[in-house]
Structure 1
């Protein structure tokens, strides 16, 4: 004998909902709405696709009075089907991402189309379309609410929605796993360079910056000695009193660069306008 686990109140409420997953009730799907009704957080008359008959079904289950549909969430209507104007569609895939039951097929930058037999008429594909190429066309004539729907259609829509939710969750998990793997690989590559031990510190001679400073200092020393030799021969630098602003700016920039590098040419430079008057 197989034991049967009794359904929760939320599960029995969900069984009575049309499973259009339209969010008009104020919840992201039919199951969250059922949970809210069971918890006393939502009223049982907030489902426009179920219409008056849907409210009556829920009232009977809950042992509550049959009340009118709350039209602030929408009105009972004939069931529509989404139709895409394929001449205008740009293949952005936004409608495919919005469809809660995977009733739209297509590919990026390719024409999309709606599988009419799978469409629940939820309207969710209309707002994200950037070119306004989707129309909701009534297909059930005068029949509205549950008269325009069936329990078989509701069960099929529910199954497609559950498969879609599971697929999206699996894709998110796989994407997160790939991101974690990439991050771990980057951290592994950086690890040897983060905190080298004291005995691993390269000697100053192997330090590129130290080499650069030594080369510059040697060049400055050679220039200083050459300037001293030229001065002894009476061939000192010319035009030291009337330096152009452009040349002086270059001199100042060179001096600043030497100071940043901690270098000195052994000479005391002075601006022409700072020289002592005779």
Structure 2
């Protein structure tokens, strides 16, 4: 297969992925996973958000056999929504950087909140939160995989991801100030101390 044909295949595979950008497949985003399938013969069973139906969709496009979802990547599950516990949020902004669709709204040292319509349930905000104030809520009941997610939602998520990437890649309009690692570290540590104190009082 020529590189042009593989590129076309990668585009079809990418279009069949749920675009949650969760990285559970082991690749940085859905497009990278699709490219790996097309160019490197990566397995088609590494996308938990797509579930077993997603595996079948990819297998048909790649003209390969469909295998059970790879448990090492996670399990098929209902769609979830990230929820910020406002009482414990310290406004560190780490979750804002981690969210691939800019679904979290907030500012430095201000409480954050999740825009439900834009959250893909990717879970990438969970490990970066230093005070564990983000949890996941089931939003699709017993429906899992593509039964809990639609093509329209996938396309909306992809559009937001592309905007997110474009904004992060574009050069700053003015020179950025010199980094102040010690000052930032001190601010985060102070915020963590306050959060621990509040938890102790509770």
Q: TM-score range by the shorter chain?
A: 0.7 to 0.9
2:153 corresponds to = 153
Give the conservation status (yes or no) of the 8 Å contact 2:17–2:30.
yes
Instruction: Give the deviation of 1:41 after TM superposition.
Output: 4.3
1:17 corresponds to = 17
Taking the aligned partners of 2:155 and 2:165, their CA distance within structure 1 comes to: 15
Paired residues for 1:157-168 under 5 Å? 157-168=157-168
Gaps of 5+ in 2: 179-202
Structure having the higher Rg: 1
Paired residues for 1:39-188 under 5 Å? 39-170=39-170, 173-174=171-172, 178=175
Give the number of equivalent residue pairs. 173
SS in 2 for 1:81: strand
Dislocated runs of 4+, deviation >4 Å:
none
2:184 corresponds to = none
Taking the aligned partners of 2:81 and 2:125, their CA distance within structure 1 comes to: 11
What value does the CA root-mean-square deviation take over the aligned residues?
A: 1.8
Residues 53-74 of structure 1 deviation map (CA, whole Å, 9 limit, x = unaligned): 0000011111111211101000
Gaps of 5+ in 1: 1-5, 183-278
Taking the aligned partners of 1:28 and 1:17, their CA distance within structure 2 comes to: 14
Q: TM-score by structure 2 length? A: 0.82
Give the conservation status (yes or no) of the 8 Å contact 2:93–2:107.
yes
Instruction: Give the deviation of 1:42 after TM superposition.
Output: 1.6
Instruction: Give the deviation of 1:18 after TM superposition.
Output: 0.1
The structure, 1 or 2, with the larger RCO (C-alpha pairs under 8 Å, 6+ apart) is 2
Residues 107-130 of structure 1 deviation map (CA, whole Å, 9 limit, x = unaligned): 000010001111000000000101
